[in-house]
Structure 1
Amino acid sequence: MARVVTVLSPAVPESAAATSARSRPRLYALDGLRFLAAAGVVLYHFTARWSQVWGDEPGHVFPGLGHVSMYFSLGPELFFVISGFVILMTAWGRDVPHVVASRVARLYPGYWIAVIATSVLLLWIWPGGKDITVTEALVNLTMLQSLFEVRHVDGVYWTLWVELRFYLLMIALVAWGITRRRLLWFCALWPVAAQVVLELGGPNAVATVLLDKYAPYFAGGMLLYLLDRDGHAKAPWLLLALNVALALRNNVPWQMHALTANTVFTPNPWVLGLATVGCFAAVALVALTRVQHLRWSWLVPLGALTYPLYLIHEYWGWWAIAQLAPHANRWVVLAAAIGLALALAWGLYQVEKRVGPPMRRSIDAGLRRLRRPVEVPERRTALVPRGVTSRPAA
């Protein structure tokens, strides 16, 4: 049976909407799934993806673990499915100011801290880690560096550009008005249009707006939310199958190329296919089965650490490995790098949770002030006595 989720009308006052949102059952397992995706990316970067920090190829240092962890490179695709589910859930029945404020306050505070911390590391503490400039670091603070064709300070930021574009599409949907029928059409036409542009080599600007090969993941997550919200029905399941097929069409050849270039291993296309389907299946398991009823509160802090860990782990972890690898056992070094990444993520989260809520309230209030109609003072007309014609002064 699907979870009962209250549908909020756009006309519902903000306070009532917030109260109803808080009353929704929390999917604790989704917090755990998000953390597992981030942890998988960390393991992939430290034990399989090419780098010089170990003094040898990571795949040679961890031949067994690396052969498995290379498939964890699909962590971002899992994030995208989760994002489609969660962002639709939080946007349904909300208005544009709420959605904009919540997304900006969610993305930017932790991101700014991560960019600054990683830039300090690469500019002054460990300049051999990556050659960046102060200008590149400053542009990265906007999160729009891809738009300006400026390099990412940290390669993991590429996913944020994808997420940001999805948020813009969601804001447009919220402005239009979210209904079940509109969402079904959207999840049918949007990924197909993106695929057509990809196949035909259409304009880059169009591919960018449509999220090119990543559209099926977000659409699939949205369809899974519809199934969770409204119960099983043929249309969303068929559309979900379509989006899974499109994801397979794009992801398997792309990952075959990327993993062959970035690791010492040769990936198995069948495993890549199963992992791609698994991104959708994992969210379906959490949202549509009895797993949704888990009440493991210890998963909540893991979910809270997910975004900070993803943002901060790569170069700070590589720096720790570079310092320790010549002097300690590889497993001790790996544990130390993971421990440092977790500690930094925890510190980043402490700042994020204090800055995010007031930032969200401030942005929301500011946007609502902009939406208020300007009151035009009532014009008073002078009374003219009968029989007297009003004439302009000479």
Structure 2
Amino acid sequence: MTGAAPRETPREGGRLAELDLLRFTAALAVLAFHYFIAFASVWGERPAELFPAISTISGLGILGVELFFMISGFVILMSVWGRSLGAFALSRLVRLYPAYWVSVAVTAAVYGLTAATALDPRLGPGEYGVNLTMFQRALGVHDANGVYWSLWVELRFYLLISILVIVGVTFTRCLVFMGVWLLAAGFFAGSEEAWVGLVVMPKYAAYFVGGMAFFLMTRFGPRLVLWCLAGISGGLAVSAALDRVAGRVDKVGYAAMPVPDWAVVATVIGFYVLMAMVALGWLRWLRWRGLVVLGALTYPLYLFHTAAAVVIVPALRDTLPPPLTALVTVLAAMAFSYLVYRVAERPLQELVRSRRRRRAPAGPAPASPASPGFPGTPGASPAPGQPGAAIPLATGEKASVP
């Protein structure tokens, strides 16, 4: 089982463009949930009453974070295959922190230099400084921005996957890792123990494992054991999603978040169907070059859409009709996100890649922080023509729902 050869999986241009589209869709879902359901203090009244026609679908946007976690399971396993722990850590550092640091600075400026009051975290300079580490929750400090909670989930996933990197990533070891994690998540479902939520993450484990299973299908083919893991994770994911949405509805009322249970079940099943389509290659026809740009926008948009709403919506809501106010805010958030990508993210990523290329020994080039490949064995470089030999890291792991 360990030595099974990867199947041929052609990739035009070496990039999973379909994941870029899914990531951007997930980001828009989260944005819709915040703008049209959650941000009552920003609008001055219930957004569901301002936008009743889209209130149900916007409410389902709370699950955009779950889709992000599934994509993260897929992409992170892809990125660690055949790489050292140091290379993986560097890739995560370069991918996560530049835009995040800008986000913390922008959030501090919004509340320190403007009259904005909506969603104010009420933090002091030292607390904003702690937020720069991304470990504020571990240190007992509140998030500067409500969207940061999922980054803490991601960091814990990275620590768990690091165990797999240390022992060596193989097909069999991935199955053991995924099976043990799913078993623990099912056993501890509903537990209120702090250590369980910290380590096992029963509310989110199924999504990461589902994404990992679909990546293994991409690499090794749609084997029965992988379908079983995906199916088990799907059952746990549906249960977790129902609990999470029900908790939100109980808190704010059905009128403020009109999301029925059947829609939650259908949405999570839809996520699994879409990821299965990616794994089986059914979405390879998605090759529009603009998808790369949308993929680049995803993480900054996730980080900055809250700040854009806090500043722009109160300034326009009494002048423009709600739909136009929302449109202006969304476009401004996207424009600023692209600027952050070009100015903060891309230059540092290119610098790291160029330095790694200069330091690399002669021979096959290792995968760069933004371009993990599909090596045949741990520590090996992709062979010419091997599936995914130059697939970049299309990381869309972040999501945001307070």
Q: Identify the TM-score tier after normalising by the shorter chain.
A: 0.7 to 0.9
Over alpha carbons, which structure has the higher Rg? 1
Contact 1:102 1:360 in 2 (8 A): no
Partner of 1:245: 235
Partner of 1:217: 207
Partner of 1:233: 223
Deviates more, 1:80-89 or 1:23-32: 23-32
Alignment deviations for residues 212-267 of structure 1 (CA, whole Å, 9 cap, x no partner): 31111001000001111111211110111111111112220221111442461332
Contact 1:252 1:272 in 2 (8 A): yes
Residue correspondence of structure 1 range 131-170 to structure 2 within 5 A: 131-170=122-161
Distance 1:124 1:271 in 2: 41
- Look up the equivalent residue of 2:338 and give its one-letter code: W
Q: 2:349 aligns with which of 350, 356, 376?
A: 356
How far off is 1:155 after superposition?
0.5
Q: Secondary structure at the match of 1:146?
A: coil
Contact 1:70 1:259 in 2 (8 A): no
Gaps of 5+ in 2: 1-5, 360-402
Residue correspondence of structure 1 range 66-81 to structure 2 within 5 A: 66-81=55-70
Q: 1:29 to 1:171 in 2, by over 3 A?
A: same
C-alpha RMSD over aligned residues: 2.4
Contact 2:222 2:280 in 1 (8 A): no
2:100 equivalent to 1:124: no
Distance 1:200 1:145 in 2: 23
2:283 equivalent to 1:291: yes
Q: 2:186 aligns with which of 184, 191, 195?
A: 195
How far off is 1:332 after superposition?
1.2
Partner of 1:208: 198
Partner of 1:325: 317
- Look up the equivalent residue of 1:356 and give its one-letter code: Q
Contact 1:46 1:318 in 2 (8 A): no
Distance 1:209 1:364 in 2: 36
Alignment deviations for residues 124-171 of structure 1 (CA, whole Å, 9 cap, x no partner): 213413133222211111000110121111111111111111111122
Contact 1:50 1:262 in 2 (8 A): no
Distance 1:127 1:45 in 2: 17
Contact 1:101 1:361 in 2 (8 A): no
Q: Secondary structure at the match of 1:290?
A: coil
How far off is 1:98 after superposition?
1.1
Q: 1:139 to 1:364 in 2, by over 3 A?
A: farther
How far off is 1:50 after superposition?
3.9
Q: Secondary structure at the match of 1:52?
A: helix
Partner of 2:177: 186
How far off is 1:360 after superposition?
6.5
More helix per residue:
1
Alignment deviations for residues 31-69 of structure 1 (CA, whole Å, 9 cap, x no partner): 011001101111111111142222211111111112221
How far off is 1:76 after superposition?
0.6
Alignment deviations for residues 173-218 of structure 1 (CA, whole Å, 9 cap, x no partner): 111101111111111111221332334444x124312223111100
Partner of 2:394: none
Alignment deviations for residues 261-297 of structure 1 (CA, whole Å, 9 cap, x no partner): 2461332111111112222222222231421243221
Q: Secondary structure at the match of 2:38?
A: coil
Distance 1:111 1:194 in 2: 29
Deviates more, 1:246-255 or 1:305-314: 246-255
Partner of 1:256: 246
How many equivalent pairs are there?
350
Distance 1:299 1:242 in 2: 31
Partner of 1:383: none
Distance 1:108 1:364 in 2: 22
TM-score between the two structures when normalised by the length of structure 2: 0.82
Contact 1:223 1:236 in 2 (8 A): yes
Q: 1:292 to 1:33 in 2, by over 3 A?
A: same
Residue correspondence of structure 1 range 378-393 to structure 2 within 5 A: none
- Look up the equivalent residue of 2:350 and give its one-letter code: P
Q: Secondary structure at the match of 1:311?
A: helix
Identity across aligned pairs (percent)? 36
Contact 2:42 2:309 in 1 (8 A): no
Contact 1:27 1:293 in 2 (8 A): no
- Look up the equivalent residue of 2:351 and give its one-letter code: P
TM-score between the two structures when normalised by the length of structure 1: 0.83
Alignment deviations for residues 74-103 of structure 1 (CA, whole Å, 9 cap, x no partner): 001000000000111111111111111101
Partner of 2:379: none
